[in-house]
Structure 1
């Protein structure tokens, strides 16, 4: 055995490609990885490899890597055990894929020899059981790229290509597998050339598309912008603000997983989630520009009028991974959103606008913004001693600063968080990007590693908290010094299935009997899980008069270096 193996070259390539952390759940396919890290510490080359973050559950590892990428834009690595570990990251892989976040996922594979023909041959019974026909097929519906490492002689090429694909928009997860014999093999020292694998440069709109969209927006009487993830790139937010101010374009955020437009701006026209009502702001629009959105509206509930002119600009304008999707737009354009918005703004400034028309739009948009804000303020009062979700979010808003990084996984309270948290700083509010619950538990770890100077606060549901494997996540946070505050909207149940049932069968038997099978009775001690597993500060509060004081105490604990979990009793589901 030499000091240089395929595994060492693999880990070096990760570091060369900007991977600072490898979130790992180890198994029988990883002896070379364990040996390489031990050798690195012994021989003094540990700083050439990613730091290993041990995660007792794969979903925590995957969501932590995603959280880091969400804050920095740089993919990190997740190392898991063969096909079992691969399957355990399933839900979090969905989030990374649907949210378009780069993550490099690596799994070993069962050794392909069984008689000792090669070093690393099978020597444990589990290696026959874990040998499956198509391990890479497990994730192929969710990854941009998958490949097998067959030799160490080109392993750095494979890693750098995988990272290039993961970072190029639309970004997404990639998957590599390596059998034990290959990863254990001695090879000559490999040279990496990461500078040859830069992500694809941002794409711009064609001039004719710029003219079409800018012309429509300039002459419209009631235009509106709809966006969901433009703020994935924080630099795109001020570009959108500048464009909207030049034309008095109001903005609706539909299913937002990022801060896409400052909440306090007079052109902000609120949010859409699973609203089961018509939206007159959309219905009355004559031009709608969709800038980065998978679900700009729900066609059966709140679509624009049939006569509206619709335009779609997106890094993924046709949603190629969605079998059923359509927006009746007259133009679909693939472009980097910040670049496209800048092009539109430059064209508007160059050609000029009808100032009278713009001023009329601004007055109308500001009046609508102020009307919404007044309604929101009215809902921010507690109901006696009962803590309402609106009051809870208002208290959190008043307790944190603009620099705080907030992760939202509040599910049925998603709209409440957006409406009442009122974030204005780009990059300060993040969601999972997908529909698999439990992301925030690991994402808070990744976010804190990415921005150790910032306070991290997660606003989540009680079901979401349990999905996040809190015992594992809190242990990881304690071991690696990534404290955060978790605030739980504890309604002692699973409200989302109840709301889904009522939206389809409002007069059904379940509704008439209030029988939805969603209760979490008997109640679990949610903070107690974090106290036991991670040494966290924990508290449950159910009285409105106590909430502000307890929140202040929790934040002081977190800023002192210890995680905190606050379960807040809101009205029961």
Structure 2
């Protein structure tokens, strides 16, 4: 790029590229002329190949969701550009998801110009510049980001970008937020460079030798040890280390609130999943030692808790959950450490100190038998009921559909999280991805971001009908069509919000709402959800309510995806409310 056109905006784009950012998911506005001009100049002189690729996103929820998934799949930060306060607010739930899902994403927003009488290039010249001037734009995001700052002068823009991305990528990873007024982004600069190696993320932390030895000792001597994990699989390389330790001592593993593939479902030490369970997990109640690894919610104390005398150890990059105002696990030791590193240390200490092989082999036989019985019981549930498709049958059909695929599944089926986990049963690290957050609609943009970094894989989203509507499907499906990222979306369609109904029944099981089936959650009259995808993105669209037709419709949908066309299949399940 020629020096004449080198501005803060140019340096900003260069800094993203220097840091390894490959995509900018953008919803541009009146605050971005400097960036738009810098990109156009780069295309004009051929230097655009050295900059991140800009992905035009018609909705901010879709933009940040795409960046979130892209960052998790690529395991490298990505970027989002949004329009002042309005675009910032439009990300709403997506920024909450990025925080809870530990997604390293840099969000950049413009800010209202601070001059209005032609004092500087980029000053106020549109009526909207006064309307967009709010007292604390950064405050909108402050509860959901690790770091926020304002670009006040162009000469240190690269340092600010690299610092923000260093913070975003350091564990626990998460989003960061920068704002820059138009005048600053238009400021002419002398070209300059910054060494990205000076801004590396913080290196993985290890356990102290004392703690590693203690955990190894208590696990090796326990009669009923248990491992609970939820996020360990965000690093696919950590999964084999967990398998190694579980194999070594025959320790059963539970996945609690998992939004990653943490442990192979077919492994004999895998003992199931738990989300919002209403009953006591017998494994947890019987455990004399519990190792909690990278897990936000190892159990829900009101329903399901360990024995009072159980020895609990917590290993996590964030063992105290600083961002959660109410959280507690009565651990003997809580250690801030990288799980992969910690597991290697613990396994090495177990081998060095030895263990009772008879005890381990006896437990291995018992856990394996329980695993096999659990799987047989789940298999017996995979059939239609009274001529209707059930969530279990649907998930089993999806599992069979993907048996020979290198698939990446995005899970956002909410009240069917447990069902999807139990009947999809993924075994490959990096093959399952959820938002990790509480705001629905992530998978629409998320599927596009995942596919951009996994073009060779079959990307499949399993969603509820409410989730699909939250995802701004017209925008998400158009995006997939424009950028050639075909994916399959399967809608668990009960024509309503089942989650509020379940929540109400959990508090008022015999109340008036329960007696009258009056929950205000119905989506009747039914919308043609696949039709939205067909209209906006040219997708293959189908709705199924006959169990016998389901496998063939899913097969046709997958064939359309392989041919380069997205597909959306709504599968009718029993209604959330009413007949």
> Does residue 58 of structure 2 align to residue 71 of structure 1?
no
Quick check: 1:385–1:545 contact (8 Å CA) kept in 2?
no
State the Cα distance separating 1:385 from its structure 2 match.
3.0
Equivalent residues in 2 for 1:124-163, closer than 5 Å: 124-163=126-165
SS of 1:89's equivalent in the other structure is helix
Structure 2 unaligned regions, length at least 5: none
Cα distance in 1, alignment partners of residues 340 and 442 from structure 2? 27
2: CA distance between counterparts of 1:287 and 1:195?
Answer: 42
Write out per-residue CA displacement over residues 327-380 of structure 1, whole angstroms, 9 at most, x where no aligned residue: 011100000010001111111122221000101111111121112101100001
Unmatched runs of 5 consecutive residues or more in structure 1: none
Instruction: Report the Cα distance in structure 1 between the residues aligned to 2:411 and 2:151, rounded to whole angstroms.
Output: 37
* Residue 382 of structure 2: aligned partner: 380
| Structure 1 counterpart of 2:511 | 508
Preserved contact between residue 315 and residue 335 of structure 2 (Cα < 8 Å): yes
1:120 is the counterpart of 2:122: yes
Q: Distance in 1 between matches of 2:371 and 2:389?
A: 26
In 1, Cα distance between equivalents of 2:35 and 2:535? 31
Q: 1:403 matched to which residue of 2? A: 406
Aligned counterpart, 1:295: 297
Q: 1:49-68 to 2 correspondence within 5 Å?
A: 49-68=51-70
The match for 2:428 among 397, 415, 425 is: 425
Equivalent residue in structure 2 for 1:46, among 41, 45, 48: 48
**Which residue matches 1:309?**
311
1:569 paired with 2:567, answer no
2:21 & 2:212 partners in 1: Cα distance?
Answer: 37
Retained in 1: the 8 A contact 2:73–2:450?
A: yes
Superposition map of 1:227-246 within 5 A: 227-246=229-248
Report SS of the residue matched to 2:278: coil
| SS class of match (1:237) | helix
Q: Deviations over 1:120-155 (max 9, x none)?
A: 110111111111111111111111111111111111
Whole-Å separation in 2 of the counterparts to 1:516 and 1:145: 40
Partner of 2:93: 91
Partner of 1:335: 337
The match for 1:17 among 12, 19, 22 is: 19
Give the corresponding residue for 1:499: 502
Residues 64-108 of structure 1 deviation map (CA, whole Å, 9 limit, x = unaligned): 000101111111100000011011112010011011110000000
DSSP-derived class of the 1:512 partner: helix
SS at match of 1:294: coil
Q: Find the counterpart in structure 2 of residue 436 from structure 1.
A: 439
What value does the CA root-mean-square deviation take over the aligned residues? 0.9
Contact kept, 8 Å, 2:241 with 2:344, in 1: the verdict is: yes
CA shift, 1:309, in A, is: 0.6
Contact (CA 8 Å) 1:402, 1:424: kept in 2 or not?
A: no
Q: Is the 8 A contact 2:405 2:458 kept in 1?
A: no
Partner of 1:267: 269
For residues 540 and 340 of structure 1, what CA distance do their matches in structure 2 show? 47
Q: In terms of mean alpha carbon deviation, does 415-424 or 396-405 score higher?
A: 396-405
- Alpha-carbon deviation of 1:116? 1.1
Partner of 2:104: 102
Match of 1:472 in 2: 475
Q: How many residues of Structure 1 are paired with residues of Structure 2 in the alignment?
A: 573
Q: 1:459 aligns with which of 451, 459, 462?
A: 462
How far did residue 5 of structure 1 move? 0.5
Q: Distance in 2 between matches of 1:532 and 1:130?
A: 33
The aligned runs of 1:481-496 (5 Å cut-off) are 481-496=484-499
Question: Which residue in 1 is equivalent to 2:255?
Answer: 253
